[in-house]
Chain A
């Protein structure tokens, strides 16, 4: 175990340093994503003002605001793209550099990305949660912050990140076939934002569609942690949805290993 961390922690340090070196990229990216979130806030505000009732399919404007911003920050933190380069590396052959070293390919990506994530948690998650709690206090006049739910939210977010990571490893291999990385990424991000409930809460979908989407791995990416944060789930629902998250984590991990073995077997790198 100690050996494991001794091997991979330097990757995290590298990830952290990379993040600090490109900090302006990170800030501008965060601001850009916030803008999209603010647009959605105003659209929902207009929806609630145009609606005759105080709630929209069971959500009040306060709920909706909390949902928007917490869902934004969870999607942001669980977004993983470190392994997208895998397909590209297979194609140009630079993958051999990973194969001749005595480290696991997925762990190197994982630890490198986690290094940057630590900084993001401090800069994005903490202030956002604080802001949301202050907002809730201002609107409702009482503190409803439950440390237990918050802890469960953090655990669920961590699992969500790992699901996202292994999904991305699997997806990285498809980049080998779909060479248009930019277009393929637009496609992937759009589909995920829809299926994971980041664009529209899954609760607003027709019941049939909703029950299907809840079972897919995408709900594990951001919907589950957000629902836990908002206290929308009871104990049994939390248990069930976290188990589902763990199931998808395992399934995607196994799938990524399988694809990796197949790819390595068929890999043919031409001379440099």
Chain B
């Protein structure tokens, strides 16, 4: 068990090193990508700033609190983008074109190989903005950076990330039956846009969808609101853990089932 984990980690390092070499080859690429995501987020912030220059609070949430939630939302998104970006290609092209064959011929788990094949450094743009935003609210939102909260903060991030990853694995796996599912992944993924704002601004239908069906609210608003208010740790943090575990379990099951029915493309 430990031996195989060590083997996997070693391979992951080798794959990342390969990607970093590619990066050094195409420096402009890397800078454009990262810069692109930073600008994209900056424009969203200008939007928030314009809104808050006219109202004191958004349904009871102050500017700093919204910024904290927003910054928080970028971290799991960025981490998922950094490590698990390659799943997009599977749903859009690899299965449809039969290129998925190559993963089946290797002596490593296909899901693992797909994931480690790409280390998407563009994501650093999102993560830099996210960290900067959270840092900018220190002392301004009423949360206590106690040792316990810092530990909880660090512990909850991987789970929030796995919500993204789980949803991507589930929707990508659909392609094993339909040949192509990148569009479905795209639509589900865009639902994360709702998570950047307090769920209290939405109507019941949307609130229930982003809480129980495509639970992106647990990637940002719920955990972030625990850190701001200190209320309902069981729901706000526990929900994130449960959502992540359930989605990943369903995702891996569906993926494995999908791999077993995979038929390569003809010609």
Chain A residues with CB under 8 Å of chain B are: 24-25, 27-29, 31-32, 35-36, 38-39, 42-43, 45-47, 49-51, 56-57, 177-180, 182-187, 189-191, 193-194, 199-200, 204-205
Contacts and interface: CB of A to CB of B under 8 A. Distances in A.
22 contacts: A25-B183, A27-B183, A29-B186, A32-B187, A35-B193, A36-B193, A39-B196, A42-B203, A42-B206, A47-B58, A50-B56, A56-B54, A180-B26, A180-B32, A182-B33, A182-B122, A183-B32, A186-B37, A187-B40, A194-B43, A200-B46, A204-B50
B197 interface: yes
Contacts of B190: 32, 35-36
Given A47-B51, A178-B28, 15 more contacts: A28-B183, A39-B194, A42-B201, A46-B197, A47-B58, A50-B58, A56-B54, A178-B29, A178-B32, A180-B26, A182-B33, A186-B33, A187-B32, A191-B43, A200-B47
A178 to B, nearest CB: 5
Nearest to A53: B54
Interface in B220-264: none
A46 B56 CA distance: 12
Interface in B100-135: 122
B34 interface: yes
B153 interface: no
B93 interface: no
Contacts of B26: 179-180
Interface residues of B, number: 39
A232 B28 CA distance: 43
B191 interface: yes
Interface of B: 26, 28-30, 32-37, 39-40, 43-44, 46-47, 50-51, 54-59, 122, 183-184, 186-187, 190-191, 193-194, 196-197, 201-203, 206
A193 B43 contact: yes
Contacts of A193: 43
Given A25-B183, A32-B186, A39-B197, A183 B35 contact: yes
Given A29-B183, A42-B206, A51-B55, A179 B191 contact: no
A133 B93 CA distance: 40
A223 to B, nearest CB: 15
A200 B33 CA distance: 24
A51 B190 CA distance: 28
Nearest to A45: B201
A183 B33 contact: yes
Contacts of A186: 33, 36-37, 40, 122
Contacts of A46: 58-59, 197, 201
A190 to B, nearest CB: 4
A38 B190 CA distance: 11
A184 B30 CA distance: 10
B197 A28 contact: no
Contacts of B56: 50
B187 A31 contact: yes
Contacts of A29: 183, 186
B112 to A, nearest CB: 24
A184 B55 CA distance: 34
A158 B98 CA distance: 40
Contacts of B35: 183, 187
Contacts of B196: 39
Given A178-B28, A178-B32, A180-B26, A35 B191 contact: yes
A28 B183 CA distance: 6
